[in-house]
Amino acid sequence: MQCAECREMLDMLVDDELMPDEARTVRDHIASCSECSREHESLVTTSNQLTNNLMRYTAPDVLKARIHNGLTQSLSSEPIVETKPKQSRWAWVVAAGALIALASSVVTYSTVTREIATRSAGDEVLASHVRSLMPGHLTDVASTNQHNVKPWFNGRVNLSPVVPALDSSGFTLVGGRLDYLSGHPVAAVVYGIRQHLINVYSWPSTGSDSSPSSETKQGYHLVHWMKGGVEYWVISDLNTVELSKFVGLLRAG
Amino acid sequence: MAASDTDRFEALIVPHLDSAYTLARYILRDEHDAQDAVQDAALRAFRYFASYRDGDPRAWFLAIVRNCCHTWRQRNPSVPLNESLVEEMSQALYDSTETDTSAIESSQQAAITRAVQNLPIEFREVIVLREIQELSYSEISEVTGVPIGTVMSRLSRARKRLASMLGNEIKEAS
């Protein structure tokens, strides 16, 4: 075998694409030719470095949620898709990533549930947020369209929650959910940005208007305010700067 | 779409979303574009799933992802990465001999990833499909839609460039 011929087959040898007898011929040549041997060694080193070091990326939760929504919608001719557990073949797709995020929160959640007697509304919001990240709990209505999500709440809760379209600011609508907090049913609207999920809770309240106040519980940021007889809670693991921006957009919408 | 098809799609395609997203990240070099392209690809794959017969489901799906990425690129031409970054990164690799092992490892990971991201698109896609996804030449040919001979020559040229960027062509006597 000539060196030139050997060089042309080195990649195939490394990639295991040669027939056994071809591979044997190339190996025999390498064993007897120091230049081809060095060339082969360089190729093996490079290929191993690439395989061992190249960054692998994980599809973010928000992407999985968006795909889940798109698939459930294309399965049905109805504009509104109810993701009941039985029909929700795709719920686990959303949940898979969320579970990872959840792993560190499980301790938090059980701590919160143990302290049920002394729970504040903020604690309940936190517990609900963590629960919503569990498989199949994120949305009852999965849609990126505000005109599907908003009317879904009609007759389910006694207020119509704000559901502005904020895509242009990077906040994608994921869907809506009915939840139960502080002894009454509440509307939960879910937004996503990158791998972060944001829950927006609202329910009627007799309190007077107040401007947003923030607190941090177990690594989650909560923002709370009252406006026009409605109590609002926003919670996410998103950074406080972007979460404040989100609250501003929500209040303007 | 029949329920059995939905189950098959769930079992065969959904497990490859990370592979799909990785390919898209290398082709588009932008996380938001990559997310949009993979979403588009997944919905498209779902819609045309009836046309999937047999063979490697990952290769079938990655071919759709790759097409969506290329369509996306044509619609949103990206600014090419600065070539000098590659030199900086490979220089950093040479300079890193005095730092601790983990710093070398992470700087090596960054340097190698960056080096691949700086390759022309036809090179970086074959590198990702071979070195990360470990597809065979015929599967890479299926995904990229180019003949096996072209796959082989692109892969070989891409590796030679990377060997030179990463300093592997310089051999010391041992």
pLDDT at A84: 43
Residues of A whose CB is below 8 A from B35: 60, 62-63, 66
pLDDT-derived band at B2 (thresholds 50, 70, 90) equals: low
pTM: 0.58
Distance (Å) from the C-alpha of residue A32 to the closest C-alpha of chain B?
17
pLDDT at B87: 44
Give the closest of B113, B136, B156 to A54, CB-based: B113
Selected for mutation to probe chain B from A22, A41, A48, A53 (highest B CB count within 10 Å) is A53
Which of the listed residues B17, B48, B75 is the one where a domain comes to its end? Answer: B75
- pLDDT tens digits, A115-174: 333 457 888 888 888 778 766 678 888 888 888 888 888 878 888 898 999 988 999 998
Q: Using the beta-carbon criterion (under 8 Å), do A46 and B31 form an inter-chain contact?
A: no
The residue range of the domain holding B163 is 84-173
pLDDT at A95: 54
Domain of residue B95, CATH code: 1.10.10.10
Point out the least confidently predicted range of A37-41, B1-5, B118-122: B1-5
Domain of residue B27, CATH code: 1.10.1740.10
Q: What percent of chain B has pLDDT over 70?
A: 76
| Top-confidence range, A11-20, A110-119, A145-154, A179-188 | A11-20
Tell me the CA end-to-end span of chain A in Å, nearest whole number: 74
User: Pseudo-torsion of CA B32, B36, B38, B41, nearest 10°?
Assistant: -160
Residue of chain B nearest A94, judged by CA positions = B14
Residue with the bigger pLDDT between B94 and A227: it is: A227
Distance CA A201, CA A178 (A): 10
pLDDT at B82: 45
Residue A85 phi/psi, 5-degree rounding, is -50, -40
* Partners of residue A179 on adjacent β-strands: A186
User: Residue A77 pLDDT more than 70?
Assistant: no
Q: Helix (H, G, I), strand (E, B), or coil: what is residue A181?
A: strand
Asked whether residue B42 falls in the same domain as residue B121, the answer is no
Which of the listed residues B75, B108, B125 is the one where a domain comes to its end? Answer: B75
Distance CA A174, CA A62 (A): 8
pLDDT at A79: 43
The total of structural domains in chain B comes to 2
pLDDT at A144: 81
For all residues of chain A together, what is the average pLDDT? Answer: 81
Distance CA A29, CA A18 (A): 15
Cβ pairs bridging A and B (under 8 Å): 108
Asked whether residue B168 falls in the same domain as residue B89, the answer is yes
Across the range B45-68, mean pLDDT stands at 88
Distance CA B163, CA A35 (A): 16
- The crossing angle, in degrees rounded to 10, of helices B148-165 and A34-53 is 90
Q: Using the beta-carbon criterion (under 8 Å), do A74 and B171 form an inter-chain contact?
A: no
User: Residue B84 pLDDT more than 60?
Assistant: no
Across the range A10-20, mean pLDDT stands at 95
Asked whether residue B56 falls in the same domain as residue B93, the answer is no
pLDDT-derived band at B95 (thresholds 50, 70, 90) equals: very low
**Which ranges of A76-169 does DSSP label H, i.e. alpha helix?**
91-103, 106-114, 121-132, 146-152
Residue with the bigger pLDDT between B160 and B7: it is: B160
Which of the listed residues B29, B53, B75 is the one where a domain comes to its end? Answer: B75
- pLDDT tens digits, A50-72: 999 999 998 887 888 778 777 77
Across the range B132-150, mean pLDDT stands at 94
Point out the least confidently predicted range of A9-18, A49-58, B47-56, B122-131: B47-56
Q: Using the beta-carbon criterion (under 8 Å), do B112 and A59 form an inter-chain contact?
A: no
- Contacts (Cβ under 8 Å, ≥6 apart) of B141: B147, B148, B150, B151
Checking ipTM against 0.85, whether it exceeds it is: no
User: Residue B102 pLDDT more than 60?
Assistant: no
Interface of A with B (CB under 8 A): 11-12, 15, 17, 38, 41-43, 45-47, 49-51, 53-60, 62-64, 66-67, 70-71, 74-75, 89-90, 93, 194
pLDDT at B157: 95
Asked whether residue B91 falls in the same domain as residue B117, the answer is yes
Asked whether residue B90 falls in the same domain as residue B66, the answer is no
User: Residue B172 pLDDT more than 90?
Assistant: no
Give the closest of B22, B112, B155 to A49, CB-based: B112
Asked whether residue B100 falls in the same domain as residue B143, the answer is yes
pLDDT at B7: 73
pLDDT-derived band at B169 (thresholds 50, 70, 90) equals: low
- Contacts (Cβ under 8 Å, ≥6 apart) of A125: A181, A199, A201, A222, A233, A235
Residue with the bigger pLDDT between B149 and A154: it is: B149
Asked whether residue B91 falls in the same domain as residue B158, the answer is yes
Asked whether residue B58 falls in the same domain as residue B125, the answer is no
Across the range B52-61, mean pLDDT stands at 86
Asked whether residue B67 falls in the same domain as residue B89, the answer is no
Q: Using the beta-carbon criterion (under 8 Å), do A42 and B109 form an inter-chain contact?
A: no
Asked whether residue B51 falls in the same domain as residue B97, the answer is no
Name the maximum alpha-carbon separation found in chain B: 63
Give the closest of A43, A50, A67 to B42, CB-based: A67
Residue B2 phi/psi, 5-degree rounding, is -70, 155
Asked whether residue B135 falls in the same domain as residue B164, the answer is yes
- pLDDT tens digits, A195-253: 789 999 998 888 889 999 999 887 789 999 999 889 999 999 889 899 999 999 999 87
User: Pseudo-torsion of CA A223, A228, A231, A235, nearest 10°?
Assistant: -30
Asked whether residue B116 falls in the same domain as residue B42, the answer is no
